Chain A
Amino acid sequence: MSDSSEALASAKAAADRIVKTKRLNACITPLKELRKSLDQQARAAHPSGVLYGMPVAVKDNICTLEFTTSCGSRILEGYRSPYDATAIAKLKAAGALIAGKTNCDEFAMGSSTEHSAYGRAVHPFEKTRVPGGSSGGSAALVAAGAVPAALGSETGGSVRQPASFCGVVGIKPTYGRVSRYGLVAFGSSLDQIGVLGRSVHDAARVLSVISGRDPKDSTCEDRDSLRLPTVPESLQGFVIGVLKEYFPPDLDPAVRRACERAIRLLKELGAAVRDVSLPHTPYAVATYYIIAPAEASSNLARFDGARYGPRFDGALDVRTLYKKTRGEGFGPEVRRRILVGTYVLSSGYYDAYYRKAQQMRALIAQDFRNAFDRGVDLLFTPTTPTSAFKAGEKVGDPIAMYLSDIFTVTANLAGLPAMSIPIGRIKGLPIGGQFIGQAFLEDEMIEAAYALERVVPAAEEA
């Protein structure tokens, strides 16, 4: 038997810290169960693993043998997965400890972690505000210092947006970089598991571990895991494009100031900065809100109460069982997206909506390729148009909520790696800057983020 005292100490400390974040409603695993499991996991952890003893919290839509996997939904209340997601299996093989499940918008549909069967998660610095979403629980736990890193998932910015709101690092890798096996599907062609970390290094090293080929996921690229870059001395030789369409005239001036400061610092680090235009950007949100709900309407068809999850019963026949279970088991935002998705796939509307959206998606991806073909290595933009908004502010206005993803959805539509790092504060609330990289060149993106992270005054007002 190897000495597991180091991992045990780490497990206990993590459990103690998570207990202290209770007010955030970020971790939804019962604390007693969490403490016991962490202890067991620490005893079994692989001491030779590169993440030995590191507690990593996991968004509730990623399947784990430990704890329930309910996607923040009543419809999967109490559901236990009989298998670990590939990303989880890789974390465990590296010696990491699964430090509980984190609160999220139901089935990752939302931008505020208010649409959860467990109640809303709370911003770590200001309780009246949202931590962002849908991976808001993961972001809040990391921001509160409870865990050095947490897994989230992205379909249209659900890692980067809460990272920006909470002042942590959030990376969404290239589509196909991390296996989706065990990530409960929302929009399969957009979904990727991402990482939230206290620092670029914490996020990147977890990403490195969970990345790489997986024979169980046909959309996962047959590639080795991500090689971690070293922290560069300078950004000499980097060409960074600043996206014109992401700095509209009505952009929050403080967000603009924070970005301009970051861009200045990138130049000082030796990077060449160029203005770049992606003409199809204005269509991104509309395109996203056709494709993602369309896929969701099909992906969520399996939740019907027939095989697992609670049944909202009294049903006399199978149709009534479906209606009651799905009607009561899904929250309003999920129901809205299933309806939209069903509509856009319907015969007679498919060509007008879904097919058009796919065509637009191809044009958006081509915009990015054009920019990269013209010698740009990386793109820089604000992550979000504002800092964390108030709880309740946008729940009644879906369009306003959807527009908080305006700068993030493009990377999902194009399948590109993107990340958010803290670049300053606005009235005390964090704001993030976003890098968008070329497919499977996360290492370059991480290098630039390393360099910027060392010099940017992230805790200072912009």
Chain B
Amino acid sequence: MAAAAGGRWETVIGLETHVQLRTASKMFCGCSAAFGASPNTNVCPVCMGLPGALPVPNEQALKHAVRAALALGCAVHPRSIFARKNYFYPDLPKGYQISQFELPLATNGSLSYLSPDRGIATATIVRLHVEEDAGKSLHDRFPRETAIDLNRCGVPLIEIVTGPDFRSPQEARAYLQTLKQVLEYAGVSDCDMEKGSLRVDANVSVRRPGASALGTKTEVKNINSFAYVEKALTVERDRQIAVLEGGGVVEQQTLLYDAKTNAVRPQRAKEESHDYRYFPDPDLPPLVLSEPFIAEQQAQLPELPAKKRERFVAQYALSVNDATVLTADRAVADYYEAVVHAAADFKAAANWVMTEVLGDAKDHQGQLRVPPESLAHLIALVQGGTLSHQAAKRVFTEVAERGGEPRTVAEALGLTQVADRGMVAGWVSEVLGAYTTEVTRYKDGERKLLQFFVGQVMKRSGGKADPKLTQRVLEEKLAP
């Protein structure tokens, strides 16, 4: 149905993304911000909201927030205001969340990403502000009771709000992946959706193509993984289209996505957002950021993925696809460059990193186990004819598992190739003697048998014969 309706309706999506900043301590107190501690152990009077306690901003969090804003091309305001967002909930111990409202940290940014539908597209970043996280209510821990864990309470977050810029769930997902990549690059967050360090709420509406006004939107919450982003948004988009095609109207409301049933349901009335009564937090003076402070954060920003990709294409003569794969992760990009700087061939290094290195990393929690210098040596051994490509892969695995110098490892494994003409000629003679029929057929014009003879020589040599040399000797001996 969605496909059929697709032409008659345009989807409009805007995203609000909460990102946990990578800091040792919380936003307004000295408690650890680490994930996974036993409940209510990383707490103090400030983050528990005890009477009389007061917040003090975490400078590291502010640095990260400013870096994130700059990485997204935002204007960082020299003066912004912390505000209180008031609502009652048991895991919100002060009865308000410290956030920003009227004057946020940054506004007016943009992020380019690769849309599956439209090629390079740009999302506007309307605002980026700093806030603290709430605690966690555990409804399934004790029967008929709710437990509260305040460890997460006060953990520093930024909220990044886009314009209504996405035209499909796929685009929304592509933007999110690019956002994650940029923030990881900037070193401000680990953006782990499973640990809750990246959370997404989406505003969804549909309208007739060409219409300038937006349709009535709904807000979809509780999207807990990248895979669900697309699913949840598709479900809601299709629901709205079905309502409209059935002659109904879309009701503005907040919906929760349920991954198990792949459906959205309205938030219970009690959970419905109300009047938050935002006002400037009198406990926190206006956040004033000096010119040098902002400049310092700009200087601390690394080269971002888009820039790096362009440079890789230009500097290493890589295809856009290869450069995209190699720059997807900052650590991988740095690794690739280290291999290249240790004097490896650009293209060969790229192939090795994209296949063997990433393959190994995938099986080992993302670790890049073979030092870049070792990989550079290994590539040189292949190109010098000392190792076959097949043998080099075995050496790679061995170095990854047990370490060591590639040449030493290759020798210990007996994998170095024989490039001695006399020895190779001996194996060739043996093979040609054993397959006289094939030799005759070859001489009668069945040239493709050459690869058969190469294979037999390799077999006889235990894989050690240099394949190029073998081919050359074979061609000489079979020449009429």
Contacts and interface: CB of A to CB of B under 8 A. Distances in A.
A binds B: yes
Interface of A: 62-63, 69, 71, 76, 79, 81-83, 85, 180-185, 187-189, 215-219, 294-295, 297-298, 300-304, 306-308, 318-319, 322, 342, 345-347, 350, 354
A306 B53 contact: no
B95 A218 contact: no
B226 interface: no
Q: Nearest 4 A-B pairs (CB), nearest first? A: A301-B95, A189-B282, A188-B282, A345-B277
B270 interface: yes
17 contacts: A79-B51, A82-B50, A184-B51, A188-B283, A218-B55, A218-B56, A219-B283, A295-B282, A301-B86, A302-B49, A304-B88, A306-B148, A345-B86, A346-B275, A347-B275, A347-B277, A350-B279
A302 B283 contact: no
Contacts of A180: 52, 54
A185 B94 CA distance: 11
Contacts of B346: none
Interface string B279-302: 100111100000000000000000
A218 B277 CA distance: 23
Interface in B42-67: 45, 48-57
Most buried by B among A182, A294, A302: A302
A313 to B, nearest CB: 13
Interface residues of B, number: 30
Contacts of B55: 218
B94 A218 contact: no
B94 A82 contact: no
Nearest to B48: A307
Given A185-B51, A306-B93, 15 more contacts: A83-B45, A180-B52, A182-B52, A182-B53, A185-B52, A187-B282, A295-B279, A297-B277, A298-B277, A298-B279, A302-B49, A302-B51, A302-B93, A345-B86, A347-B277
A69 B53 CA distance: 13
Interface in B28-87: 45, 48-57, 84, 86
A367 B52 CA distance: 32
B90 A318 contact: yes
A184 B51 CA distance: 5
Contacts of A181: 52-54
B54 A322 contact: no
B96 interface: yes
Contacts of A182: 52-53
A326 B333 CA distance: 57
A255 B356 CA distance: 91
Contacts of B51: 63, 69, 71, 76, 79, 81, 184-185, 302-303
A62 B96 CA distance: 22
Contacts of B88: 301, 304, 322
A63 B52 contact: yes
Contacts of A217: 54, 56
B90 A306 contact: yes
A319 B278 CA distance: 21
Contact of B277 (A302, A319, A346): A346
B95 A304 contact: yes
A294 B279 contact: yes
B235 to A, nearest CB: 30
A156 to B, nearest CB: 14
Given A298-B86, A301-B96, A81 B50 contact: yes
A301 B283 CA distance: 15
Given A182-B52, A346-B275, A301 B94 contact: yes
A183 B277 contact: no
A63 B54 CA distance: 13
Contacts of B96: 298, 301
A115 B56 CA distance: 32
A149 to B, nearest CB: 21
B148 A82 contact: no
Contacts of B95: 298, 300-302, 304
A180 B51 CA distance: 11
B94 A302 contact: yes
Contacts of B54: 180-181, 216-219
Interface in B138-186: 146, 148
A450 B71 CA distance: 59
A75 to B, nearest CB: 10
Most buried by A among B48, B51, B55: B51
Contacts of A354: 279
A177 to B, nearest CB: 15
A81 B52 contact: yes
Nearest to A179: B54
Contacts of A215: 56
Contacts of B148: 306-307
A79 B146 CA distance: 23
A302 B96 CA distance: 8
B39 to A, nearest CB: 13
Contacts of A295: 279, 282
Given A301-B86, A301-B88, A301-B95, A319 B270 contact: yes
